[in-house]
Amino acid sequence: MAGFLTTHVLDTALGIPGQGIAITLSRQTGAGWDQIAQATTNADGRTDAPILPEAEFATGRYELVFHTGEYLRTQGSALPDPLFLEDIPLRFAMAEHAHYHVPLLFSPFGYSTYRGS
């Protein structure tokens, strides 16, 4: 089975997909973290293609950073400046060649994730 990585962003405060959120993906190396991909979420809160496709998949340690600040500022809520969650980093490992789905559920003051399918 070939491996790949997908993600999905949901705004739990408003109950809608997180559209237009920039995401970066980095892989841990001996020298630190190398950014290997970037994408922006579509109207469904997903990237148009896997953020790490089969052809580029390798097991190892990864970090997804969801740049939520701009999105939060455009939602019309009165929020403090600076924002509590400007960027949300998620570090995780992929140990087998499989489909990894790492969604982000967030609000202006909290977030959660899990390994989905």
In tens, the pLDDT along 56-70 reads 999 999 999 999 999
Q: Say if strands 22-29 and 104-107 run parallel, antiparallel, or are unpaired.
A: unpaired
Question: Which residues have a Cβ under 8 Å from the Cβ of 76 and sit 6 or more positions away?
Answer: none
Query: For residue 73, which phi and psi values (nearest 5 degrees)?
Result: -65, -20
Q: pTM score, two decimals?
A: 0.95
Specify the CATH superfamily of domain 4-101. Transthyretin/hydroxyisourate hydrolase domain (2.60.40.180)
| Percent of residues, the chain, with pLDDT higher than 90 | 93
Q: How far apart are the C-alpha atoms of 86 and 63, rounded to whole Å?
A: 16
Instruction: Categorize the per-residue pLDDT at 2 as very low, low, confident or very high, splitting at 50, 70 and 90.
Output: confident
Q: How far apart are the C-alpha atoms of 34 and 62, rounded to whole Å?
A: 9
Write down the domain spans for the chain.
4-101
Q: How far apart are the C-alpha atoms of 112 and 60, rounded to whole Å?
A: 22
